[in-house]
Structure 1
């Protein structure tokens, strides 16, 4: 688990794999059609989000797609000293 994912899941009531329910319908059934957002790890049924099958590769939920970008850390710049 990446630190970015850990930071994200601390912002909502995360569920372990055995307890995971669909965010849309709230049901744990149809595990074979349950997929997880690659950004927040929330669970969604394919049929609850209008997909016919679990997509191959990365999948990002609507919630994370609409989220504003997180601010990047800015490093301190060194000061130029002038000799005079």
Structure 2
């Protein structure tokens, strides 16, 4: 039996984001700007539902989210190879 690989934790998602760390965005599906707030989390992040198409997304969103959630791209890609073999 193969031993499981220990994953490197590269991301640095925070428990609280300030208003300076987020950016407003349009709906990623229909580019609409009208939405209803559903839930606020982690300080300035708000889960919203687009009034045009119904998509649920985060607005405002974290700047440089890929780096915050996944960390270093090289480490992320290395770990992805183990997951998606």
Largest Rg, 1 or 2: 1
Larger strand fraction of residues? 2
Indicate the structure whose relative CO is greater, using CA pairs within 8 Å and at least 6 residues apart: 2
TM-score of the alignment, normalized to the shorter chain, above 0.5:
no
